[in-house]
Homo-oligomer: A and B are copies of this chain.
Amino acid sequence: MTRYKLTIAYDGTGFAGYQIQPAGRTVQGEIERCLAVMHKGGPVPVSASGRTDAGVHARGQVLHFDSSLAITPERWIKALNALLPADIRVLDAQEAESTFHARFSAVGKEYVYKLNTSRQGDVFQRNYASHFPYPLDAELLDAAIPHFLGTHDFTSFCSARSEVEDKVRTIHHLELLRDGADWTITIRGDGFLYNMVRIIVGTLLDVGQGKIEPGSISELLRARDRTKAGKTAPAHGLYLNRVFYEE
């Protein structure tokens, strides 16, 4: 058996999320279906770096699986892309160490959140960026950003439904880039709690509208209370961009 590491992109619009579930089309379901075809029906379970919710996109989700097929990485890419639906693409395949694990070996992740701030919205981005046509002060967002950096307990920025006990995470990078009406928030850290990026973005939108003071982010973190932070921003603006592993 050889362990393979796959890097995939998917358009989350047509999926009920990454993870396989009883009803609804899922990314994992499609991948496992194609791997089963290649393995003459035998089940080939895949493990991902983490789940993504319905509507959330990926430019660089990472998976691993084990296979006894003697196929080069280049052939894995071709064969899977020939079988997969058009809204999932395999970008890269590599042989991995048998100890490699898409989730447990990950040392960090990068997410991107896209906002379209135009008045009427962009018809081509309606599933790929969150439309936010209200006044936003970018300087207020820029003033809030440094308060998120570093190691904090992110309980206030985590879905109350999360069952994870340790809510301490480290954010290495958080940046707002503006290109006309298209705003992009990039965030990198050692790990993210359930809905964490979307709640940080929702809170930044409150900051940009003057509803939350940039300087009160630290207080908000200390409160460890989800109800103190902003709303969870919509799923369709979010992209899992990269997963980092130690070399």
Residues of A within 8 A of B (CB): 9-11, 57, 77, 81, 86-91, 120-124, 126, 128
Q: How far is the CB of A86 from chain B (nearest CB, A)?
A: 5
Copies of this chain in its oligomeric complex: 2
Asked whether B11 lies within 8 Å of A123 as measured between CB atoms, the reply is: yes
A122 CB contacts on chain B under 8 angstroms = 9, 89
Using CB atoms, name the residue of chain B closest to A90. Answer: B120
Main secondary structure of the interface of A (DSSP, over half): mixed
- Knowing A86-B126, A126-B86, say if A91 contacts B77 (CB, 8 Å): no
The 6 A-B residue pairs whose C-beta atoms are closest, nearest first, are A9-B123, A89-B123, A11-B123, A89-B120, A86-B126, A91-B120
Contacts of A57 in B (CB 8 A): 124
22 CB < 8 A contacts A-B: A9-B122, A9-B123, A9-B124, A10-B123, A11-B123, A11-B124, A11-B126, A57-B124, A77-B120, A81-B120, A86-B123, A86-B126, A87-B123, A87-B126, A88-B123, A89-B120, A89-B121, A89-B122, A89-B123, A90-B120, A91-B120, A124-B128
For A77, list chain B residues within 8 Å (CB): 120
A123 to B128, alpha carbons, bound, how many Å?
12
- Set of chain B residues within 8 Å of A128, measured between Cβ atoms: 124
